Amino acid sequence: MAGASAVFIMDMKGKVIISRNYRGEVPMNITERFQQHVIDAEDAVIKPVFCEDGISFAWIQYNNLYLLAVTQRNSNATLIVAFLYRLAEVLRDYFNELEEESIKDNFVITYELLDEMMDNGYPQTTEVKILREYIKTQSHQLSVDQMRPPTAVTNAVSWRSEGIKHKKNEIFLDVVERLNLLVSANGSVLRSEILGALKMKSYLSGMPELKLGLNDKLLFEATGRPVAKGKSVEMEDIKFHQCVRLARFENDRTISFIPPDGEFELMSYRLNTHVKPLIWVEAVVDPGHSRSRIEYMIKAKSQFKSRSVANNVEIHIPVPSDVDSPSFKTSIGTVRYIPDQDCIVWSVKQFQGQKDYIMTANFGLPSVGAENRDAYMKAPMSVKFEIPYFTVSGVTVRYLKIIEKSGYQALPWVRYITQNGDYQLRMV
């Protein structure tokens, strides 16, 4: 692991806003080459990692900034790119929003963070909760006692300080799944993907050891347990928080970890499974004979279990750009026309499972039609929703064990939520 020689934060024109040269191996005008290879180059030839004259460049773009790391040694490119993403997350956490202005307004803190997060080009403390203990956003808040970095920085567990105490020991686990779906007008699913995340809020004293069990298909196979059809889930692209013991997971698929204090994302995963639409929307559009009016009939049907309820459902239906005098009729919820987005939004506060509802909309059309009036038909309908106590993949938490040497009793709370991701249904 050879690390990075220098890190640069630049604007969209390639002008350096702030930089940190860790080893003095590379000239500081090296960013001119980055400009030639990335900013002035065509999109088709741009590479996220490239080499020139024995110097390797790794970069990411975040809002209106480029974060660039260069190295003269044979470094691990994945490690450097991962560090740049982590740096962006830490800066965003400190400044609420990471963009050109926030860096210019916070030079001192940015330099401090660059020094603490990387030492001689090697990544060090990247956990924002620990950094916040000794790098304060207002320098006068730092007393003499706080000048000493917390022991977590030098511990094996760099993401959690020792001696944490809570009056009530609790841990909250949210299994949040987002459904990306694209459905053709005849009802066939063209693309379906589930993006899941396990989000935790930990309020536990001491140094607890947690063990989490999921209905993971590979776990059942590794332990030789019989598994009923549909009771296990095969996860892909699993990404863990740094607190998870990866060797243990690789060995026997057990997720064991010492959690950071407070809120964090334990893991994320993806499933490429065929999912039928949870909320199916059908649109019948009647342009009328006279072409002076257009009528919509929208039928929405929930295809999840009847005991579940989808909250805050919003169905966005595209309409021609030149419609006027809207009138709506619906059996449930409210409908509004949003002219600047050329769509109508049908909002339903609570959509019960296994129900269907109909909404009709009437619009007037000007006698002289716009040239691209029928273009709206090519735009898909989109649906927003949130279904509590339900996971579309069937992921379930089998157990969450909390072990702490003092032997206190802690309460684990688990809830499941399914939300829309990029959820679209074509009209034609």
Q: Where are the domains of the chain?
A: 6-132, 170-275+392-426, 279-388
Question: Measuring CA to CA, which residue among 95, 92, 88, 118 is closest to residue 20?
Answer: 118
What's the distance, CA 163 to chain centroid? Answer: 32
What pLDDT score does 197 carry? 96
Q: From the CA atom positions of the chain, what is the Rg in Å?
A: 27
Q: What is the pLDDT of residue 374?
A: 72
Angle value at C-alpha 55, between 119 and 80, nearest 5 degrees: 40
The correct answer on CATH 2.60.40.1170 for the domain covering 170-275+392-426 is: yes
Dihedral sign of CA atoms 164, 168, 171, 174 in order: negative
Compute CA 388 distance to the chain's CA centroid, rounded to the nearest angstrom: 19
Determine the pLDDT at residue 75: 87
Longest dimension (CA), the chain: 81
Contact present, 245 and 256 (Cβ < 8 Å) = yes
Closest CA to 91 of 83, 80, 81, 102: 102
The angle subtended at Cα 134 by Cα 129 and Cα 138, nearest 5°, is 100
> Which residues touch 98 (CB under 8 Å, ≥6 apart)?
62, 63, 65, 88, 91, 92
Strand partners, 10: 16, 66
Q: Of 215, 187, 204, which Cα lies nearest the Cα of 398? A: 215
Which residues lie across from 356 on neighbouring strands?
301
pLDDT score at 149: 54
Tokens of 339: 């002219």
- Tell me what pLDDT residue 218 has: 67
- The answer to whether 170-275+392-426 and 279-388 have equal CATH topology is yes
Give the 3-state secondary structure percentages of the chain, helix then strand then coil, rounded to 5: 20, 40, 35
- Distance separating alpha carbons of residues 98 and 10, to the nearest angstrom: 12
pLDDT recorded at residue 277: 93
Pick the CATH number of 279-388 from 3.40.50.300, 2.60.40.1170, 3.30.2090.10, 3.30.470.20: 2.60.40.1170
* Local structure of 325: helix, strand or coil: strand
DSSP code, position 379: S
Per-residue pLDDT at 139: 37
Cβ proximity of 213 and 397 under 8 Å: yes
Of the candidates 394, 417, 395, 410, the residue with the CA atom closest to the CA atom of residue 211: 410
pLDDT at site 147: 45
Q: What is the pLDDT along the chain (428 residues), one digit of tens a residue?
A: 578 999 999 999 999 999 999 998 899 899 998 988 888 888 788 889 999 888 999 999 998 999 999 998 888 999 999 999 999 999 998 888 898 988 988 889 999 999 999 999 999 888 888 888 888 765 333 344 444 555 555 566 778 888 889 999 999 999 999 999 999 988 899 999 999 999 999 999 999 999 998 887 766 665 656 655 556 788 888 999 989 999 888 888 889 999 999 999 999 999 988 898 999 999 999 877 667 889 999 999 999 999 999 999 999 999 988 888 899 999 899 999 999 999 999 999 999 999 999 999 999 988 776 666 677 888 999 999 999 999 999 899 999 999 988 888 888 999 999 999 999 999 88
The CATH code belonging to domain 6-132 is 3.30.450.60
* Residue 311 DSSP code: E
Beta-sheet pairing, 118-119 with 122-123: antiparallel
Q: In what order do the strands lie in the sheet with 397-403?
A: 255-257, 209-214, 397-403
User: Left (φ > 0), alpha (ψ -120 to 50) or beta: where does 259 sit?
Assistant: beta
Which pLDDT score, from 0 to 100, does residue 268 have? 94
